């Protein structure tokens, strides 16, 4: 990381940023064709969970290349400078990482993944019936590494 003074190294702080986010952006690529998609997600500290329909563009990309880059951002705010346009900046917290996506096929795995997703937004556990489980596919991103950066100074 170029700006070492902005780097966050504490893993618990990084996990706290992720838990405060509402969107995860996945970066996928096939044959030099990039694809970025925002998804709702769940997080268990070591993996990210998301769901898809039975078929679609995300699945085509995942099946061709299960390597993924992911991004989270929190507390993003423009910090203007009233005198110098070159001093405008952002206040932010970001996490960027890499991993591999694998499909969860067993119903108990799907339910676990769905509950991680719902816990991100509702802070409770839910029941999922067989009909729901048949209509979706559940995916797990096993996190290989991630870094975080923050700039939370707000001079104005």
Q: How far apart are CA 55 and CA 78, in angstroms?
A: 38
Report pLDDT digits (tens) over 61-105: 999 999 999 999 988 777 788 888 887 877 778 899 999 999 999
Quote the CA–CA distance of 151 and 108 in Å, as a whole number.
40
| pLDDT 10s digits, 37-61 | 999 999 999 999 999 999 999 999 9
Domain 4-149 carries which CATH code? 2.30.110.10
In angstroms, how far is CA 108 from the centroid of its own chain?
Answer: 22
Please report, for the chain, how many H helices and E strands are present, in that order: 4, 8
| CB 41 within 8 Å of CB 117 | yes
Q: Is the pTM of this model over 0.85?
A: yes
């Amino acid at each position: 990381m170029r700006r070492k003074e902005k780097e966050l190294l504490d893993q618990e702080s990084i996990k706290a940023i992720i838990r405060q986010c509402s969107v995860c952006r996945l970066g996928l690529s096939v044959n030099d064709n990039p694809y970025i998609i925002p998804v709702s997600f769940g997080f268990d500290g070591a993996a990210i969970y998301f769901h898809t329909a039975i078929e679609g563009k995300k699945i085509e990309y995942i099946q061709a290349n299960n390597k993924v880059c992911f991004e989270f951002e929190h507390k993003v705010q423009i910090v203007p400078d009233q005198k110098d346009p070159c001093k405008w900046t952002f206040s932010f917290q970001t996490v960027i990482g890499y991993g591999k996506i694998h499909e969860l096929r067993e119903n108990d795995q799907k339910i676990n993944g769905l509950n991680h997703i719902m816990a991100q937004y509702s802070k409770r556990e839910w029941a999922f019936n067989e009909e729901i489980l048949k209509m979706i596919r559940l995916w797990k991103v096993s996190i290989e590494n991630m870094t975080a950066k923050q700039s939370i100074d707000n001079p104005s």
